[in-house]
Amino acid sequence: MRKSKAFPMRRDLIEFAFEVGVSRSIAGDTVDSMAQGILDCLASLDEVNAMQGLRESIERHVGSVMEKRSI
């Protein structure tokens, strides 16, 4: 988004969805569901443990992106 290499924040994802016609509440629920799916997937993948610190890094980034702030 906006040619950034950083993953967008929750607010930016919701606003992007809103701009294309999705309600903010549905967009928020979808973003939250996808983030939880990523975390659930990480918990079940042994391959993630092959690289030291990978799981923690992904969990930390998903958590920071998902911080809820007013829109």
Per-residue pLDDT of the chain (71 residues), as tens digits, is: 667 777 788 999 999 999 999 999 999 999 999 999 999 998 888 888 888 888 898 898 888 878 876 55
Q: Residue 6 carries which DSSP code?
A: S
Return the structure tokens found at 10: 């929750």
Positive or negative, the Cα torsion across 4, 47, 10, 66? negative
Q: Residue 7 carries which DSSP code?
A: P
Specify whether the CB–CB gap between 16 and 1 falls below 8 A: yes
pLDDT at 66: 81
The pTM for the full model equals 0.75
Tell me the HSE value of 59 on the side-chain side, using a 13 A CA sphere. 11
